[in-house]
Amino acid sequence: MKYSRLSKEQFKSLHKEFSIFLAAQSIDKINWDQIKTKNPILTDELLDQFSDIVWDQSLDKIAYLENRSDYHLFLFKCKDVQIDLILIRVDEDCPSLMQKDYQLWLAKNFSDPRVSIYESSRSFTDNSKFEKFKLINQGATVSDGKIYEDLKSFLSK
């Protein structure tokens, strides 16, 4: 298994896709019910295979990730062979970046000496999908990239 098994909730939401996956393996509902009760090893293998397929397809589509904590905002842009980062760090006496209106405070206080901004780029060291997966496991969430692109545009001026 390359990634991790999907949760029960994820399998439920992908019920139709999982049925198609089983059908491609020549497994109908009756066969699947028998496999689940009589062959737990094969059951695990099929669940893991399907999970990897879903992860592979999902990770291919991810272009932006963000990871936010009280005092750090990591914004990632994932390209084909490299990943770009904008990191914003604020001192502990600043409002939390977890607050809903953190962007307003940040826009007003961008030049505040308590706000540090760093930019970095690096080539993917592993498979790009696996690196995105690692970032997600470390707390990153998929983003539409608006904050990253707005900041990148501002920093380029």
- pLDDT per position as a tens digit, 81-94: 999 999 999 999 99
User: Which pLDDT belongs to residue 124?
Assistant: 87
With tokens 């206080």, the residue in question is 109
Residue 157 has pLDDT above 80, yes or no: no
Split into its structural domains, the chain has a count of: 2
Residue at token pair 């905002």: 73
Distance CA 121, CA 85 (A): 6
pLDDT band at 156 (very low <50, low <70, confident <90, very high): confident
For residue 13, the SS3 value is helix
List the structure tokens of 144.
């539409």
Q: Token pair for residue 16?
A: 């139709």
What pLDDT, on a 0 to 100 scale, did the predictor assign at position 154? Answer: 84
Q: Are residues 56 and 72 in the same domain?
A: no
Give the mean model confidence (pLDDT) for residues 105-111.
90
Q: Would residue 2 count as lying in a domain?
A: no
Q: At what angle do helices 40-61 and 15-24 cross, to 10 degrees?
A: 120
Q: How many CB atoms lie under 10 A from the CB of residue 28?
A: 11
Both 117 and 142 in a single domain?
A: yes
> Is the same domain home to 68 and 57?
no
pTM of structure: 0.86
Write out pLDDT tens, residues 25-54: 999 999 999 999 999 999 999 999 999 999
pLDDT at 18 over 90: yes
Note whether 35 and 53 are same-domain residues. yes
Task: Name residues whose C-beta falls within 8 Å of residue 12's C-beta, 6 or more positions apart in sequence.
Answer: none
Q: What domain range includes position 123? A: 64-156
Which two tokens mark 52?
């990897």
